[in-house]
Structure 1
Amino acid sequence: MKKRSLLFAIICFALNVNASNPDSAVVSKIYDEILEKGKVYENLHYLCKNIGPRLSGSANAQKAVDWTKSLMETYGFDRVYLQEVMVPHWDRGVKETAYFKVNNKKQTVAVAALGGSVATIEKGIEAGIIEVYNFDQLKELGEAKIKGKIVFFNRPMNSKAIRTFNAYRDAVNQRSQGATEAAKYGAIGVIVRSMTTRVDEFPHTGSLHYDENVLKIPAVAIATKDANQLSEALKLQPSITFFMKLNCKTLPETLSYNVIGEIKGSEFPNQIITVGGHLDSWDLAEGAQDDGAGTMQSVEVLRTLKSLGVKPKHTIRTVLFMNEENGLRGGLKYAENAKQNGEQHLAAIESDSGGFTPRGFSVDASTAVVDKILSWKSIFDGFDLNEIGGGGGTGSDIGPLKPLGTALFGFRPDSQRYFDFHHAANDVFENVNERELKLGAAAMTALVYLIDQNGLN
């Protein structure tokens, strides 16, 4: 009898908790819908396998625009449209070749031209190598030792950093600025250690930024395994030479689009909650983690709310941004149009850290907003979303919305494997886990729902 009474009390308690917290009940339904009936994984499969690499300005980027617009139309969102944006168009051309010579024997290495790099002369370039770890060393060596040489930036990402994005930020300036800094001292080319914590055979590309007042020199990323071999060879024989041939070119800017779908708000239609990722990807692979996962999760947010019959108070807008990788034109254009149209953007959430196990959300907003988000901690805790607020970026594409007073949120998944695939040829669909991807979509939908129903005041 006592056991029955205890069981009855537990059931009543559970029912009372559920009744007193209807938001928690809806969030549970969101997770159930996505885990059981979600479309995010199959949509990512189509994007990766039927379209593939989607570098801005490419034919595949346009195919991705057309397909994602059609996809959102089939879901019956209130409005689906394209937002024009002019984007750069850089083409890698024929695959790069590179090797170093030791005692006149060639050791081929895996390299990839950095995005935006100029080509070498047609026959390629060959020169001695200067290995450095930072820009201060360049200054110490000076033009006398660097002129006519190829500079090899070999500073690894910090393996001691628990959050790998911090290690990336500490190392990436050699990729983004290394060519310009080396050219100031007369270097004729640059090799950059790939931005990854792994030692493997994949070169990881990414954008570089030239100073218009400095000679533009060709630049490649080298696989970490080959970077280590090159460094060891230099210790034994500093006079070895390096050859590289790049065939890339920059074409005229071309018209592209942000792809936007939305469900109109029932009470505050002029207040917008944006959720998105970037549709473009680098040209070496399928862009599954970066950022196919984020774009398909963002589409899943709207699909799920509509499927569950949730009528949002605010307008919920999914934005698939174009040109995050080599220009940020999509994010800038979206914010520019929002300002011109006098739109009020309550919140913006971006997923651009991969489709891994959700940990929580970073927040760039006032203390009051952070406190509001933390008031939902009991709900988040129930779904293992324990990292709320604190440091960490919120996403490049939504950053331009901050001056409009928009609260910014970054979906924060586990970071340990992201840079295994980032900007490399192994960023393919097979390296995405279905359950992790779905859990991320559910976490994002839950946050959107809670903000919509409760506001941020």
Structure 2
Amino acid sequence: MKKRLLLAFSLLVTGAQAQSPDSVTIRKIYNEVLTNSPSYEWLRHLTQQIGPRLSGSEGAQKAVDWTKQLMEQQGFDRVFLQEVMVPHWVRGAKEVAYIQNGKQKITVPIAALGGSVATPTKGIEAQVIEVKSFQELRDLGAGKVKGKIVFYNRPMDPTKLNTFEAYAGAVDQRGNGATEAARLGAVGTIVRSMTTVLDDNPHTGSMRYATGVPLIPSAAISTNGAERLSKMLKDNPGLTFYFKQNCETLPDAKSYNVVGEIKGSEKPDEIIVVGGHLDSWDIGQGAHDDGSGCMQSIEVLRALKALGIKPKRTLRAVMFMNEENGLRGGIGYADYAKKNNENHIAAVESDNGGFTPRGFGIVGTPEQRAKAIAWKPLLAPYGLHEIGAGSGGADIGPLAQLGTVLFGFKPDSQRYFDFHHAGIDRFESVNKRELELGAASMAALVYLLDQHGL
């Protein structure tokens, strides 16, 4: 009897929630996106017809032009470009690398890291020092490092269930490894790719040089290549590694953030942003990183418009430029908002891949977080259980200084770093339904933010 009463009460509560105006609208949003969304075909065009979109490249400009036209076709109230100057690094001819072990020459896959200098024209060949931390490198000292290639081989921690935590625990090797090695006289660095998967795909990414330190070339090596090099070093510490890369940094180039807007009907001066970054690395198609986030963001506005929902507040879809190697778009957009005294009450970013939605991370005051967390009963039926304190996103991060509450869309993270910054980040790696579920999740959150504020 007691179980029956509990079941009846549960059904009564569920029924009451199901009949609330917000829950009815959210159901309509999901129905619209899952039935009529063109976002997957948009992504197909962006990735397969335009392709890689590294800042300053021809592909990046094509993406700007096409995305502007796409949003104009949706009939948004305003579509405009916001100019930003961006870094212009080019990879050049494909890299070459091999392990020389006596008479044995073994080719391994590498990719120059974004921002790296080139090797000399003939490449670099030197003995290898393997380390797993900067402290280990410093303990070796210049006597053992000078004239060598430093091989950073600390893997992402597989015990971290949140793979972004694992990434954060390893990526310092990529970002600062060349500087730390150059201080001790190294002639180059090779960095284990940032992924938990063992494969032959090198994963590029951004690196930087400190002022006053020699600029030495740096490349990522595939995880299979790293495993092989490490094993061979144990057997023969005197082997050599050869690599050649042809990258260069050109003068900054003019580019743009692309912005589409639906004007608010009651509080037009309060702005809610939803966005992703339009640029991508040059060795794949940038499907998960971040073509998915861009197409989902445009779909948020399209779906709400298609349903005849007239937002109280102004909604903006922003395609940020240059997240990968400079963040000029995010910084430039925040500067634009500050200069124009715009009131951005909330910003939502999708830059974690087009996988199954799990929730949203929130950056704001405890009171603001509590209000958003109170929407859990409306969002949980759609698999959005992880709603609470977390990170927002790199591009919307600069808006925090203006008091904007930040929301980072959180899909399931287990497969993201299989593709991240690699040549296999292609259209076919994105699942249509997962992409659409993400867009609907973001649209539901934007709807609630618009209706109720923070």
TM (normalized to structure 1)? 0.96
How far residue 104 of structure 1 moved from its aligned partner, in angstroms, is: 2.3
- Distance in 2 between residues matched to 1:211 and 1:412, nearest whole Å: 33
- Distance in 1 between residues matched to 2:202 and 2:170, nearest whole Å: 15
Contact (CA 8 Å) 2:17, 2:23: kept in 1 or not? no
Q: Which residue of 1 aligns with 2:111?
A: 112
Q: Which residue of 1 aligns with 2:154?
A: 155
Cα deviation per residue 1:233-268 (whole Å; 9 max; x = unaligned)? 000000000001010011111100000001000111
Q: Which residue of 1 aligns with 2:412?
A: 414
Q: 1:435 aligns with which of 429, 433, 436?
A: 433
How far residue 124 of structure 1 moved from its aligned partner, in angstroms, is: 0.5
Cα deviation per residue 1:260-315 (whole Å; 9 max; x = unaligned)? 00100011101100000000000001000000000000000000011000000000
How far residue 17 of structure 1 moved from its aligned partner, in angstroms, is: 4.4
The residue identity in structure 2 corresponding to 1:408 is L
How far residue 429 of structure 1 moved from its aligned partner, in angstroms, is: 0.5
Q: Which residue of 2 aligns with 1:74?
A: 73
Q: Which residue of 2 aligns with 1:260?
A: 259
How far residue 138 of structure 1 moved from its aligned partner, in angstroms, is: 1.1
How far residue 408 of structure 1 moved from its aligned partner, in angstroms, is: 0.4
How far residue 390 of structure 1 moved from its aligned partner, in angstroms, is: 3.0
Cα deviation per residue 1:32-73 (whole Å; 9 max; x = unaligned)? 000000111110001001000000000000000000000000
- Distance in 1 between residues matched to 2:303 and 2:382, nearest whole Å: 17
Alignment of 1:29-178 (within 5 A): 29-178=28-177
Q: Which residue of 2 aligns with 1:3?
A: none
Q: Which residue of 2 aligns with 1:6?
A: none
SS in 2 for 1:382: helix
Contact (CA 8 Å) 2:369, 2:389: kept in 1 or not? no
SS in 2 for 1:41: helix
Cα deviation per residue 1:149-171 (whole Å; 9 max; x = unaligned)? 00000000000000000000000
Aligned length: 446
- Distance in 1 between residues matched to 2:10 and 2:175, nearest whole Å: 58
Q: Which residue of 2 aligns with 1:338?
A: 337
- Distance in 2 between residues matched to 1:104 and 1:344, nearest whole Å: 66
**Change over 3 Å in CA distance of 1:11–1:403 after alignment to 2:** closer
- Distance in 2 between residues matched to 1:177 and 1:15, nearest whole Å: 55
- Distance in 2 between residues matched to 1:229 and 1:160, nearest whole Å: 23
SS in 2 for 1:171: coil
- Distance in 2 between residues matched to 1:49 and 1:110, nearest whole Å: 24
How far residue 212 of structure 1 moved from its aligned partner, in angstroms, is: 1.9
How far residue 377 of structure 1 moved from its aligned partner, in angstroms, is: 1.3
**Change over 3 Å in CA distance of 1:126–1:344 after alignment to 2:** same
SS in 1 for 2:309: coil
Q: Which residue of 1 aligns with 2:6?
A: none
The residue identity in structure 2 corresponding to 1:438 is E
How far residue 11 of structure 1 moved from its aligned partner, in angstroms, is: 11
The residue identity in structure 1 corresponding to 2:380 is D
- Distance in 1 between residues matched to 2:243 and 2:361, nearest whole Å: 41
- Distance in 2 between residues matched to 1:11 and 1:174, nearest whole Å: 53
Gaps of 5+ in 2: 1-8
The residue identity in structure 1 corresponding to 2:450 is D
- Distance in 1 between residues matched to 2:177 and 2:11, nearest whole Å: 63
**Change over 3 Å in CA distance of 1:15–1:137 after alignment to 2:** closer
Gaps of 5+ in 1: 1-8
- Distance in 1 between residues matched to 2:381 and 2:430, nearest whole Å: 24
The residue identity in structure 2 corresponding to 1:453 is Q
- Distance in 1 between residues matched to 2:182 and 2:166, nearest whole Å: 25
- Distance in 2 between residues matched to 1:368 and 1:361, nearest whole Å: 16
Cα deviation per residue 1:105-137 (whole Å; 9 max; x = unaligned)? 210000000001000110001000000000001
Contact (CA 8 Å) 2:178, 2:218: kept in 1 or not? yes
Alignment of 1:278-317 (within 5 A): 278-317=277-316
- Distance in 2 between residues matched to 1:354 and 1:13, nearest whole Å: 34
- Distance in 2 between residues matched to 1:168 and 1:11, nearest whole Å: 42
Q: Which residue of 2 aligns with 1:450?
A: 448
- Distance in 2 between residues matched to 1:18 and 1:106, nearest whole Å: 66
How far residue 10 of structure 1 moved from its aligned partner, in angstroms, is: 11
Give aligned-pair identity as a percent: 61
How far residue 15 of structure 1 moved from its aligned partner, in angstroms, is: 7.0
- Distance in 2 between residues matched to 1:299 and 1:311, nearest whole Å: 16
Alignment of 1:194-343 (within 5 A): 194-343=193-342
SS in 1 for 2:209: coil
SS in 2 for 1:61: helix
Q: Which residue of 1 aligns with 2:388?
A: 389
- Distance in 2 between residues matched to 1:194 and 1:48, nearest whole Å: 23
**Change over 3 Å in CA distance of 1:10–1:149 after alignment to 2:** closer
SS in 2 for 1:116: coil
The residue identity in structure 1 corresponding to 2:413 is S
